[in-house]
Amino acid sequence: MQPPSLRQQCHTIVSGDRPRTAAEDFADMAAWCSANAVSHDTYGEGVLIEGFQQKIAGLLGFEAGLFTITGTITQVTALRLACDARGSRHVAMHPSAHILKHELANYQLLDHFKALPVGDPMRPWSVDDLRTWPDPLGAILYELPMREIGGQLPAWEQLEAVKAHCRAHDIHLHMDGARLWEAGAGFGRPLAQIAAGFDSVYVSFYKGIGGLGGAMLLGSQKMIDQSRAWVQRQGGNVYRRSPYVVSAAMRFDARLAAMPACFRRTQWLYERLRQHPRLRPNPAAPQSNMLHIHMPIAKERAIELRDRIAAEHGVWLFGGASHAALPGHCYFEWYVGESLLTMPDAQVEQVLAWLSTHPE
């Protein structure tokens, strides 16, 4: 048996949710299944999964939904179908899109479509950015919020202009809504209003909801029917999806209801950060319940600091750190979830003091 990692030895994890053991997760799932008389699905057919698909589709204002195992399968499927329907294989997306950065060029190697990076890598993009590409577009992907740039959201008017542009030019507008649940609180608008004007939406159930995994594609009934065949072609039609559906469905309502509180806690955190000028948040003002914190030390020094605090105090400050554009600077991500929401104010202040008093 492997010894526990330094992170596993910590009693407090600052970013995200309180860690749970497999035994805790499975016990909670078993109790919920017993209380709700849950039966397994068979290749995606069953009362539980079909009811959950209808629930999420209704919440976001779509005809139908399809629960899938991963967002990686989900998004390329939606965009491929959109391009096929419109006769253009060009898909515009932000340079920080998950498809470009984290999916091993699957869209290209599996011959799904051709990606066109649009906009400034550090800012949400606008309709004006689309005009930099003269090519006819089959689809546009817009991520809400944009995780790789600190959870930024476009201005509401900017997003509405993108929607209007796509309607006027018959371009399929797809949302990477892996963190759409967080965007609702950031925009201060109902989820269905945010999703209105999109032709399809992908959502995740492990990032903000805390499920074991799983995703869903929302769209027209025709698109969902077509997507079901493509998910099967790509090996995503597993025999049982019920473990993933249960872990999401049992937490969904409570987690969604907590998002406004998480956003208020993020606003509070920004006020505390004003007292620590060596810790610079991106974005400059809270837009969702996640952010990047930039520090004037090298990535390697930040990791050393994290590990020292973990060993001495049992507090895990952050996961990975990344090199920033300026030499000798780095940044890391904080997600304001269960941990920061319930952490005593004094303990948060202590964490900020540890980070801001680091040696050069």
User: Which residues in the chain come in under a pLDDT of 50?
Assistant: none
Work out the percent of the chain whose per-residue pLDDT is above 90. 94
What topology is assigned to 6-19+255-356 in CATH?
Answer: Aspartate Aminotransferase, domain 1 (3.90.1150)
Amino acid type, 73: I
Read off the pLDDT of residues 224-283 as tens digits, 9 standing for 90 and up.
Answer: 999 999 999 999 999 999 999 999 999 999 999 999 999 999 999 999 999 999 999 999
CB 127 within 8 A of CB 137: no
Q: Return the pLDDT at 131.
A: 84
The dihedral built from the CA positions of residue 286, 280, 206 and 215, taken in this order, carries a sign that is positive
Cis status, amide bond into 283, omega within 30 of 0: yes
Tokens of 73: 């399968």
Phi, psi of 12 (to 5 degrees): -135, 125
For position 3, what pLDDT does the model report? 65
Residue 230 near residue 72 (C-beta atoms within 8 A)? no
Give the other-Cβ count within 10 Å of 311's Cβ.
Answer: 11
- What burial letters (b/e) apply to 78-102, b meaning 16+ CB within 10 Å? bbbbbbebbebbbbbbbbbbbbbee
Class of 22-253 per CATH? alpha beta
Cα angle 7, 8, 9; round to 5: 90
Structure confidence at residue 19 (pLDDT): 86
Torsion of CA 111, 144, 289, 210, to 10 degrees: -50
Q: What's at 273, amino acid-wise?
A: L
- What is the SS3 assignment for 141-166? EEECCEHHHCCECCCHHHHHHHHHHH
For residue 42, give the DSSP letter.
B
Supply the pLDDT for residue 207.
86
- Tokens 């995740």 locate to 204
The pTM (predicted TM-score) of the whole model is: 0.96
Domains of the chain, residue spans:
6-19+255-356, 22-253
pLDDT of residue 168: 96
- Strands annotated E in the chain: 12-13, 64-68, 90-93, 114-117, 139-143, 172-177, 200-204, 215-219, 280-282, 290-295, 315-316, 321-323, 330-335
pLDDT of residue 133: 82
Q: Kindly report the number of other CB atoms within 10 A of residue 187's CB atom.
A: 20
